[in-house]
Amino acid sequence: MYKIEIGEHSFLYMDCDPSGVDLQTHGFFCPNADFTGSVQQHDMTILWSEFALDVRFGGIMGSDRVEPDAVFSDDDWSLPYNASNLCAVDPSRPCNEASIMYFLSPQVSTQSFTFTSEDIVQPPGSGWNFNNIDVTIPDGIEVSITEGLNIGGSTVTFGIDSELVYTGSAHGFDPEPGTLFRMGKNSRFTLMSPVTLSGTASEPIRFEQLSPGNRWDYLDLLADGNTIEYVELDGGDKTIEVRSTGNTFDHITSTNGYRGLSSYFQSLPGGGTASSSFDVSNSLIEGSQSVGVVAHNTDLDMIDVTIRDSGQDGLWLLGATVDTLTGSLIEDNAHLTTNSSGIAVHSGSTLDIGTDAFNTIKNNAVHEVTISSTGIAYLGTSTGGSTGGRNTIFDTSTPVSGEFYVNNTSFASVKAEYNCWNTTLAPAASLFSGSVDRDPFMSCSGLTKGIGEATASTNVNGALAGTDVNAAFVAFEENPTEANLAALYVLVAQPGEAGGAFQGYFDRVLTSVLSASDRYAAVNTRTRELAVVLSLREALRQERFADARAIFEDNLDQVVSPDLRSDAMLLGVNAYTMTRAYAEALALLPAVKAIRAPNRDTKAELMFLEEELTFRLKEEGGAEKALVAAGALEKTTADESADELPGRAALTAWPNPTRGTVRLQLDLPRAASVSIRTLDALGREVLRAAPRVYGAGGQVTSVDLSSLAAGLYLIEVVVEEDGQPPVRRTSTILRN
C-alpha cells in the first residue's frame, strides 16, 4: 500500500492489490488492456482547489509493483498514467504493457474528480464511492458503472457532459439526498439495471442543465422495477424515458423540458416487444415545450398529478391504457398549437377514469379532452348510481368555434356521465363534438376530493356492468349493425372483470362476422369493416403483435370506407412498430394521408408517428437497408455481415449514438489493407480515409464525425488480404 501526503494531516492511499481494494478507503484500479488484449492509454485529471500536492502513481505488472520516480506538484494539474511510463521505470526488465493494471484513489474529502478516459473501469466486486467529492464526466466520455456507484454528501455535484451507463451489480446506484446532477447538452443517464433514486422533501435529488439553455437528454430506464421519488428534473429533453415495466414515480418534479415524461414500448431479447408501465403520484409536470406526458404502448396510473403549461397536449396516449386517473389537475396546456388538448386519446388507447375520480381538466387551449380514431374514453359512468366520474371539465373562457370540452372523432360513443361542466344547467351541445354521453351531470358546488374518495373503482359494480354487456350482445344479435357492434365493444374493452368475462364470446362474434357465417351472413359492409378494425385493435390490446400484423395484412383490402380504412391503417402502423418493422410502419403514413384530408387530430398523430418511427429506424440500423435499396451500397450477404466468424475479419464500433469520434475495433485474422469510408443517409460519401495496412489481431482506429451534421451515417470498412476477395463490414452510427 502507498501512503501519499497531499497536505498537512491529509493522505491519499493507493492499494497495489486490485482484488483487495476497499473503496471506502482506497479507491479503484484500471486494467490497461481492453477485451482483445491490445494496449490502451489512460488519462485522468484530478483538480485540487485548496492546496498544492505531491502525488505518485503506480501499477501492477504481474505480481510486482511498479512506481515511477516522477512527482507531480501543482494546484491544478493533469496526471497521465499509462503503460509506457510504468514500463520505463525499469527498462532492464521485460514489460508486457497489456498486463498492467493501474490504481489511484479519489477518496479525499476536499477533492473534485474529472474523468478523461472512457476506458476507466471498476474493480470487481466493489462500487465507486464519492464522498463529498465533485465528479465531472466531460463531453465525449462514456463511463460505464459496472459495480455500483455511491454518491455521498448533501452538497455533491455530479456533472455529466456525455453519457453515464449503469449496468448494475449488488452494490447498486445510490446517490444520497441532496445530490445534484448537472447534465451537459445531449447528455444522458442510461440505466440498464433497476435503480432507486430517493431524495427527501427537504433534500431532493436534482438533475439540471450544466450550462443554461442547453438541454440534456433524459434518464433512460431500460430495466424493470425502478423507483424514483423526491427527484427534481429541470431542462431535459424527454427528461425520463420509460422502456420497461413496474416503474414507480412519486413526488417528482419535471420542469422546462422539451417533454415532461416519455414512455415507449420495451424491446425484448430475441427481437420481441411488450408494453411498458409506470405509476406516477404526487408529482408536477410543468412548462414542457411540447407534450407533458407521452405514453406510447404503455400502461400507466396517475394519482394526484399536476400537468400544466405544456406547449402541446398535457397527456398524450397512443396504444396506451390508463385505468387509474384520480385527483389530478390538467390545465393550461396546448397553448402553442392549434391541434392539441388537455388529454389526447389516440389510436388503440383506452382511458378509464372510473368513478369518484375527482380530476380537474380545465383551460386547455383548443379542447379539454380529445378522442380520435380507435381511441376509447370512459370519463364517468352512471352504472351504480350517482357516483359517475365526479370530474370538473371546463374552460373558464368562452370556447371559440371548433373548440370543445370533449372532442370525439372516434368510432365509439364516450361515457362522460355525472361530471361537472361549470354550469348549473345542462351543458350546451355546442361544447361537445361527436357522440358524448354526458347526462346526467353534476353541480360543481361541493365537488371536492374527500378522505377515501380519491380511488378509482371501476369494478365496484361489476355485476351491473356484466348485465349491460349481456344486453348489448342481445341487441347486436337482433340487429347486427355497425353502431351496435361499436357499443358492444366499448363495454367489452373496458378495463375490469365485467367486460373481460365476455372476451372469448366477443372474439367468436368477430370471427363469425368476418367470415360471414351463421346469423351474420348478411351484415352490411360497414359492420364487417368495423369488425376488421376491432379484431386488429383487440390483437394489439392483448399484445398479440404478430397476430395483429397478420390481421392487418390479410384483411385491409376488405376495409374501403375512408374513415375506417384510416383507422385500420393507423392500427397497422402500430402492428408494424410493435414487430419492429419500422420502415414498413413509416411507409404507411403517406398512405393514411392519401385516403382523405386528415382532420387535425389525425394530423397530430401522424406527426408524432413520423418523428418517432424515424428515430427508431435510425436507432436500429435501418439506414443500411435504405442505402442498399437506393443502390448506394451492395447488399451484404449473411455470411459477410456476421460479427464473429472463424478466420474472418470482425468490426465493433462504439459509442453509438455519438457526438464526435467513433472508435472502430478491427479483429483481423491476418495482416490486411483496410479502407474506411463514411456515407450519409442518401448514400453520399462524406468521409474517406486512405487505405492502411494493419497487422493481425485486434486493431483500434477511429473516425471523427464531429464535422458532420447530426443524423444517421454508415461506416463501411473494406478488408483486403493478398490473394483473397475483399471482405466488407458496416456499422450504422447515429450522430447526435
In tens, the pLDDT along 225-284 reads 999 999 999 999 889 999 999 999 999 999 999 999 999 988 776 678 899 999 999 999
Phi, psi of 505 (to 5 degrees): -65, -40
Phi, then psi, of 380 in degrees rounded to 5: 155, 145
C-alpha grid cell for residue 705?
Answer: 464525425
Question: Whole-angstrom Cα distance, residue 282 to residue 535?
Answer: 37
- Out of 325-334, 637-646, 665-674, the most confident range is 325-334
Over range 278-296, report the average pLDDT. Answer: 95
* Cα 368 to Cα 343: distance, rounded to the nearest angstrom: 6
Question: Which of 438-442, 595-599, 718-722 has the lowest average pLDDT?
Answer: 595-599
Q: Is the pLDDT of residue 329 over 60?
A: yes
DSSP-derived secondary structure for 291-309: -SEEEESEEEEEEEEEEE-
The amino acid occupying position 579 is T
Grid look-up 433534500 returns: 203
Residue 221 vs residues 296, 613, 626, 684, 732: alpha-carbon distances, Å: 15, 19, 30, 35, 23
Q: Give the 3-state secondary structure of residue 440.
A: coil
Amino acid 180: pLDDT: 84
Length, in residues, of the chain = 736
| 348-403 pLDDT, tens digit each | 999 988 677 888 999 998 899 999 999 999 887 655 444 556 788 888 777 777 88
What residues pair up with 652 in beta bridges, in sequence order?
665
Strand, coil or helix: what is 332? coil
Cα dihedral sign, 105-133-660-654:
positive
Given a cut of 90, whether residue 110 has pLDDT beyond it is no
Q: Considering the entire predicted model, what is its pTM?
A: 0.69
pLDDT attached to residue 621: 53
Q: How many CB atoms lie within 10 A of CB 104?
A: 25
Under CATH, domain 466-628 is a member of which superfamily?
A: Tetratricopeptide repeat domain (1.25.40.10)
Cβ atoms 453, 359 nearer than 8 A: no
Residue 1 confidence (pLDDT): 29
pLDDT at residue 510 tops 80? yes
With a cut of 60, say whether residue 71 has pLDDT above it: no
Q: Give yes or no for a contact between 213 and 237, defined as CB atoms under 8 angstroms apart.
A: no
Architecture of domain 650-735: Sandwich (2.60)
What is the C-alpha to C-alpha distance for residues 245 and 226, in angstroms, rounded to an integer? 8
pLDDT bracket for residue 731 (50, 70, 90): confident
pLDDT tens digits along 176-206: 888 888 888 778 888 888 889 999 999 999 9
User: How far are the Cα atoms of 210, 217, 262, 312 from residue 236, in angstroms, in the given order?
Assistant: 11, 5, 11, 16
Chain centroid, CA 403 distance in Å: 32
Kindly list the domain boundaries of the chain, sorted by start residue: 1-177, 289-444, 466-628, 650-735
Grade residue 526 by pLDDT with cuts at 50, 70 and 90.
very high
* Residues β-bridged to residue 423: none
Where is average pLDDT lowest: 197-201, 212-216, 467-471, 719-723? 467-471
Give the number of other Cβ atoms within 10 Å of residue 334's Cβ.
25
Q: Give all strands of the β-sheet with 697-704 in edge-to-edge order.
A: 650-654, 661-668, 697-704
Burial of 472 (0-12, 13-18, 19+ CB in 10 A): buried
Q: What is the edge-to-edge ordering of all strands in the sheet holding 149-152?
A: 128-131, 149-152, 173-175
pLDDT in tens, 434-489: 999 888 887 776 565 533 233 333 333 334 456 778 888 889 988 999 999 999 99
Share the mean pLDDT of the chain: 73
- Residues 574-602 have a mean pLDDT of 83
